Amino acid sequence: MAASVPGPPTSARNKGDTMALVHLVDNDAAFQASIGPVLEASGYRIQAYRSADEILSRLPDSSVDSCIVIDVQIPGVGGPGLRDRLIAAGTSLPVIFLAGDSDIRTTVRAIRAGAEDFLPKPVERDEFIEAIDRVITRHRLVSEQECWARQRLARLNQLTPREREVFDLVVRGKMNKQIAFELGTTERTVKAHRHKVMEKMEVRSVAELVSCAERLGLLRTAVA
């Protein structure tokens, strides 16, 4: 691995005052010893494991900005097998596989096992750090989207049945007069329901409400 001077930590490596964490599963003590300082100098914390059983016995916290780097040839279940067992145990962190023998069969097994990336050993420092930056950033974005969706769905569930009807019609582009006619009520009542919908969903405009429905996949359901 090339010994170049690392650049400043990027947003992938820090969230607030907390450095992102790299879980390294590799029984090569020399590799662990050489890669640890590189990761730390690049703005990452590192947690090393010598076996599959070791990481399975103390599962990583998926809520922490982190990724798992696994040697495909790890003794026992092997890298792909370990990935399967981590998923079964509820760990959703992205995985990068490393392999000294980067043949096609090993690469295919790693991809089928759900690898976010696959790198051959000996790994280039810059390529390794870039891969970690990329998978942690992607995982963070997915986690933030899932959190946003959970919060919006919780707000959606607070709507009364009539407010939900108004919501569905508003995001389909219906005007108050059209909604009143379709629901058999008055425009004044529709306006009141619409105000409550906006308030409960915590949006400031119809455009924002439509965007919310679209991101949740509700607009397609409403149109159908």
- In the chain, what are the domains? 14-140 (3.40.50.2300), 158-223 (1.10.10.10)
Q: What is the pTM of this model?
A: 0.71
Among 127, 124, 116, CA closest to 92: 116
Among 65, 84, 62, CA closest to 19: 65
List, run by run, the mean pLDDT of 10-residue segments along the chain (224 residues). Answer: 40 64 93 91 93 93 90 87 91 89 68 80 90 92 90 95 96 95 96 96 94 88 42
Q: Is 29 exposed, middle or buried (0-12, 13-18, 19+ CB in 10 A)?
A: exposed
- 48 touches 21 (CB < 8 A): no
